[in-house]
């Protein structure tokens, strides 16, 4: 397998295929982070702390196997790139990337339009319950 060919729920982290890997942690769930680091050990080449959607399961000061997680903060990375690339280059590259993304958007997203807060609640509920189709991009007009 390669890329994201293997998908497992959080409680099955011990089944992750042990091979050179990168962990991008959007949840900040301490138990999951501990399990992934323990399973991959020295096969884990980079661990990035990006998000904290599981704020209630965060564990500060964990002792983890393998590499130390590196905090990723997008505004700091943007500032670093602006400095490295010089005036206007960051904006030019972001614009080019957005154009490439938009050109192919119809291949990977279906836009769904909704009206009002009641429909917003239905969309949120389907997302929270795991019933939402990942191809759907929701636009909610209030």
What HEC string does 17-37 produce?
Answer: CCCCEEEEECCCCHHHHHHHH
- From 58, 23, 62, select the one nearest 44 (Cα to Cα): 23
Instruction: Read off the pLDDT of each residue in 40-49 and give the average, rounded to a whole number.
Output: 94
57: Cβ contacts below 8 Å, ≥ 6 apart: 27, 28, 29, 30, 31, 32
Do 43 and 83 belong together in one domain? no
**Confidence check: pLDDT of 135 > 80:** yes
Percentage of residues in the chain having pLDDT higher than 70: 96
**Confidence check: pLDDT of 40 > 90:** yes
Number of domains in the chain: 2
Do 56 and 92 belong together in one domain? no
Q: Which residue blocks in the chain are alpha helix, DSSP H?
A: 30-40, 74-85, 89-103, 117-128
Do 92 and 34 belong together in one domain? no
Do 21 and 59 belong together in one domain? yes
Q: Which of 49, 71, 93 is the last residue of a domain?
A: 71
- Residue 2's pLDDT band (cuts 50, 70, 90): low
**Confidence check: pLDDT of 8 > 90:** no
**Confidence check: pLDDT of 57 > 90:** no
**Confidence check: pLDDT of 29 > 60:** yes
Domain residue limits at 125 = 75-141
CB 31 within 8 A of CB 9: no
Is 38 domain-assigned? Answer: yes
CB 54 within 8 A of CB 27: yes
**How confident is the model at residue 65, as a pLDDT?**
86
The pair of structure tokens assigned to 1 is 């397998």
Across the chain, what does the average pLDDT equal? 90
Do 27 and 65 belong together in one domain? yes
Is 3 domain-assigned? Answer: no
Do 67 and 99 belong together in one domain? no
């Amino acid at each position: 397998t390669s890329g994201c060919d293997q998908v497992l729920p959080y409680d099955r982290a011990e089944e992750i295929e042990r091979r050179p890997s990168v962990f991008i942690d959007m949840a900040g769930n301490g138990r999951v982070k501990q399990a992934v680091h323990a399973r991959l050990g020295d096969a884990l080449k980079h661990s990035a702390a990006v998000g904290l959607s599981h704020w209630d399961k965060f564990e500060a000061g964990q002792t983890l196997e393998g590499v130390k997680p590196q905090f990723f903060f997008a505004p700091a990375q943007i500032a670093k790139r602006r400095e490295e690339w010089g005036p206007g280059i960051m904006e030019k590259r972001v614009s080019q990337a957005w154009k490439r993304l938009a050109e192919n958007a119809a291949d990977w997203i279906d836009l769904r339009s909704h009206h009002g807060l009641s429909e917003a609640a239905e969309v949120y509920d389907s997302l929270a319950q795991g019933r939402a189709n990942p191809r759907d991009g929701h636009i909610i007009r209030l």
